[in-house]
Amino acid sequence: MALGPRLEVNQTQRLSMTPQLRQAISLLQMSNVELFDHIAEEVEKNPLLELVEPETLHDDFVATPRGNTELAPIHSTVSSGNFEDFDPLANIVDEKTLRDMLREQILLSDRNPARAACALVLVDELDEHGWLTAPLFEIADRLGVPQAAIEEALETLQACDPVGIGARDLRECLEIQLKDADNFTDVMQVLTANLDALAINDLPKLETLAKVPHAEMDDAIKALRQLNPKPAAHFDNGIVQVAIPDVTVGRSAVGGWAVELNTDALPKALVNEQYFSEVAKDGSEASEYVTECRANARFLVKAMDQRAKTILRVATVIVRHQNRFFDEGINGLRPLTLATVAKELDIHESTVSRVTSGKYLYCLRGTFELRFFFVQGIGRNDGGNDIAAPVVREKIRKLVAEEQPGKVLSDEKIAKMLQEDGVDVARRTVAKYREAMGIPSSSQRRRKHI
């Protein structure tokens, strides 16, 4: 056989990550606040991209045609929402918000998902000073959990920085800071318990109550006044609740729950076709430039529209699976995974992960990140549906809370009681959940009752 050079042509297929595809994926992962920031930057770079308010739109501005929003069985719709008084652009900041910092600390410090979830809800209840003014029983009732569960979650929140965050009043705010500094002395206890006397500078009364000389009381007052009564005051112009809901959930007129897209949380970016027509007609280099700008602007508008529709579709499936939560609270959560939602929508699991990260749902029970609704499941031995792990943890916590001093329940006994209730759980699983909730062992609890 003669040897010699020859040319062969092979045809192969591969997925190319184009700049447009990379941008679409990036948009999907952005929060609504980050999206406003990104679109503002794109408007600066692209002369054909316009960021305008709805009332200023006219025929010269046209966007890529949009299809009707998909109607799901629980009535997903696009709604303008009721957020007229909130300006998302006013809250765009370069550094992390206090809310972001608190979320990170809670998720890193608390291994109990149920308690961490409640603590994250409390973050959204903070006022501009960083105080928790809503009564705990109201929050517990809204979430459908015992008040004790909210009290435990509050401990998690109050362990975060800045010190004093989550206090329910001035006294508690100061006491948290004093304890953190290991300076909660008898004198300080008198001062924090008698802030009314301190306010009018009634030193004789305070010195009598504390049984200390004037000089020592004076030093204590100076130290107390160095504390920060408003822990959130130096963050984000005092704004703590920066989570703008992407979707809202409310009762449907035809029954069930209606999921609506909050379009007020989305920037209105459109293509200026009139300006393109004026520049492109002469066929100059400027014409080539604006043609490219129009293509980029159209793709961006289309990607934004697709992002919104994907968020709505994913939220709709989540609400359909977790509909009992909106009636019953945390005890109504069912096991749900990213894979389940991805399979139902025929999209990739990574897409669901991006869509649910940093996206929020508002309902009567509060504002929740979409990731909140993904929970592990525990099997049942009675043939019923799996039960959500947070529900099992709550059952364990309740059994321990109700045990009698002379009849402390072992992990083995708790496992058997849960099994009798239809929950297929092993002793080691009970032990793991109990430790994650910070509940002492049966021997430690028994010694405590002696």
- Residue at 9 is within a domain: no
Model pTM above 0.75:
no
Domain boundary among 322, 347, 373: 373
Q: What is the mean pLDDT of residues 240-253?
A: 79
Which residues span the domain enclosing 137?
98-166
Q: What is the pLDDT of residues 265-308, one digit of tens each?
A: 888 888 888 878 877 776 667 788 888 888 888 998 898 899 99
- Residue at 76 is within a domain: yes
Looking at the fold, whether 256 and 367 belong to one and the same domain comes out as yes
Looking at the fold, whether 295 and 314 belong to one and the same domain comes out as yes
DSSP summary character for residue 435: H
Distance of CA 336 to CAs 39, 95, 193, 352, 443, Å? 33, 33, 47, 12, 35
The H or E element that residue 344 is part of is helix 338-345
Q: What is the spatial distance between Cα 10 and Cα 162, in angstroms, rounded to a whole number? A: 62
- Residue at 17 is within a domain: no
Domain boundary among 373, 394, 421: 373
Among residues of the chain, what percentage have pLDDT more than 90?
Answer: 12
Domain with residue 144: its CATH number is 1.10.10.1330
- Residue at 323 is within a domain: yes
Q: What is the mean pLDDT of residues 111-126?
A: 83
- Residue at 332 is within a domain: yes
Q: What's the pLDDT band for 85 if we cut at 50, 70, 90?
A: very low
Side-chain-side CA neighbours of residue 227 (13 Å): 25
Our count of domains for the chain comes to: 4
- Residue at 277 is within a domain: yes
Looking at the fold, whether 249 and 369 belong to one and the same domain comes out as yes
Looking at the fold, whether 201 and 256 belong to one and the same domain comes out as no
- Residue at 107 is within a domain: yes
- Residue at 33 is within a domain: no
Q: What is the mean pLDDT of residues 384-412?
A: 81
Looking at the fold, whether 343 and 361 belong to one and the same domain comes out as yes
